[in-house]
Amino acid sequence: MKSKKIMVSLMAISVLVILVLVVFLRNNNESIDLNTYENLLNNNVIKKAKIQNNEVILYTNDHAYIILKDGVDLKALLKKVPIEVVYENPFIKDLVVIGLFFFMILGLILYGRKRREVDIKKEQEKYNAYAHEGFTKTVVKASTSKYKFTDIAGISEVKEELQEVVDFLKNSDKYKKFGITLPRGVLLIGPPGVGKTMIAKAVAGEAEVPFFYQSGASFVQIYVGMGAKRVRELFSYAKAHAPSIIFIDEIDAVGKARGGMRNDERESTLNELLTQMDGFEDSSGVIVIGATNKIDVIDEALLRSGRFDRRVFIPMPDFSDRLKILNIYLEGKTFVGDVAKIAKMSVGFSGAALATLVNEAAINALRAKRESIGEEDFLAVRQKVLLGKRKVLNFSEEEKKIQSIYQAAKALCAYWFEIDFEKITIINDRLKDLDLEIESKTEMFSKIKVYLAGIAITKIKFNETYSNSTDDLQRAREIAKNMSELYGMGRGLVASTDDVPSILNEAREEVEKFLLGMSAPLDIISKKLFEEESVSKVEIKKIVDEIF
């Protein structure tokens, strides 16, 4: 890079020098006509003259003029001033300029070649230094896995599909007798944290075969050819320990589709991976398991038959899966409460997120100097695990009052219209997204009323609408749009342009009427939010039961 910059700089300087030479050597004398010449001659302004080819150059004290020789009376001019005759080839100057330019370019080429040789030598020395330190030696170690399918909760369908792979590795002769060839590669696809790595380890543990782990990024090297070398070594070791499993985590790092912004090193590594998977003999006893959450960027050649034949999709855990996962992570811990409630409140959590949730809840209990973990500990850390801990900052007293009544209306409506939630704070609600395959029009309409409750109460209390309603209004619009366009819940089965405004206006009118008759519990809830900045579903139930 440095030598390239030097070359560009030298080229720029060379061009500048050539331009200066051209300007210097170019004849810049001013051409004049015969009348001007005679005036200069008669007024004795001309001091000397020079005949050069077919031109006469006239010199004054501070200037030079040029005129055709055939138009001048040389005898008359000679009587006035001395005349110098110069015999010059007109092409000499051009040859000088061309010659200088040629030699300058030649010098730059030779200099660039020399610099390139020096750079190559330095790179080679650097490469040799790394090689001497063992950088080029790929350390591939076979490990054994202690995990079994029983250590992984849920995903029963995934286990059934992978059980065939396990059986093939354990009883390969049985399959060979029937001429059965199992997939050479299995691609695990799923969002981050669902346990793809643990599943691969469980396959190795169940089959009791060596397990070779590599991340896709480990094949990406600085020097061309090093990634391909690592791939060859990995497969060589796996074949030597067959039957065995190669697990390539984040395989999209090396298996990304070719083309576009080229990367020769990555492409050579991918080509080597394709070649190695093609080169498997049916009896090699090596199965490749890849993991990715970006199957859309994987090169098609890697997904074709004979490579990653089988694709296993690993979804986010549903309620029953979350219940089993939580029970596993709570083993050995003192927990007082209903695990099912924790599973219900953790919709959207991956297996890794549930592990973090349990750990954070235990830390919260320890911080509070309690002997056991309770449901309140999970409630306290849920938002922290999902979104990070947030605090209410920079609210003035008036803003806090507005926000309290706004969130109180949402909390009361959510409780009354049976939209499930855990607690609502002064800045957050996070209504539950239930694991429902089928949702009724009434349920969706009730959710819209909850999101419009804050807008309705501020209109009732302050006769004003505030900017804190932006997110809620967006959510309400999305639900109304889905009701109309996707589910045929508008005025007709076919969506019309009036459906969304009609749904929103009807929901707002209904929630305004509801809130006008609920001023007593609303005042208590808003006061609690103002003072404590949060209110739970249990507390709202208590307030409503006492009043009604």
Statement to judge: residues 499 and 407 lie in one domain: yes
Residues 366, 461 within the same domain? no
CB 343 within 8 Å of CB 434: no
274-278, 292-296, 339-343, 517-521: segment of lowest average pLDDT: 274-278
Q: Under the phi-then-psi rule, with left for phi > 0, alpha for psi from -120 to 50, and beta for the rest, what region is 454? A: alpha
Position 496, amino acid: S
Of 220-229, 327-336, 340-349, 505-514, give the lowest mean pLDDT range: 220-229
The rounded distance, in Å, linking the Cα atoms of 253 and 70 is 81
Mean pLDDT of the chain: 78
Has residue 156 been placed in a domain? yes
Do 345 and 365 have their domain in common?
A: yes
Least confident of 78-82, 360-364, 436-440, 499-503: 436-440
* Shared-domain flag, residues 306 and 331: no
Residue 198, in any domain of the structure? yes
Question: Domain of 449: which CATH number?
Answer: 1.20.58.760
Distances (CA, A) of 506 to 62, 406, 452, 500: 94, 20, 11, 10
Residue 120 resides in a domain: no
Q: Is residue 416 part of a domain?
A: yes
**Residues 355, 458 within the same domain:** no
Same domain, 401 and 522: yes
- Domain finish residue from 286, 310, 334: 310
Domain co-membership, 294 together with 216: yes
The residue ranking higher by pLDDT, 233 or 327, is 327
Regarding whether 209 and 239 lie in a shared domain, the answer is yes
Domain range for residue 356?
Answer: 319-387
pLDDT value for 389: 45
Block residue for tokens 């850390």: 381
3-state SS assignment for residue 83: strand
Residue that terminates a domain, selected from 347, 368, 387: 387
Q: What is the CATH number of the domain that holds 264?
A: 3.40.50.300
Residue 194's pLDDT band, with cuts at 50, 70 and 90, is confident
Positive or negative: CA dihedral 71, 75, 76, 77: positive
**Domain closes at, from 256, 276, 310:** 310
Provide the number of structural domains found in the chain. 3
Considering the domain architecture, whether residues 165 and 301 belong to the same structural domain is answered as yes
**b/e for 377-398, b at 16 or more Cβ within 10 A?**
bbbbbbbebeeeeeeeeeeeee
| 401 and 383 belong to one structural domain | no
Q: Across residues 235-245, what is the average pLDDT?
A: 82
> Is 186 part of any domain?
yes
pTM for the whole thing? Answer: 0.49
| Per-residue model confidence (pLDDT) at position 521 | 92
Q: Mark whether 302 and 412 lie in a shared domain.
A: no
The answer to whether residue 6 sits within a structural domain is no
Looking at the fold, whether 425 and 518 belong to one and the same domain comes out as yes
Asked if 222 and 214 touch (Cβ cutoff 8 Å), the reply is: no
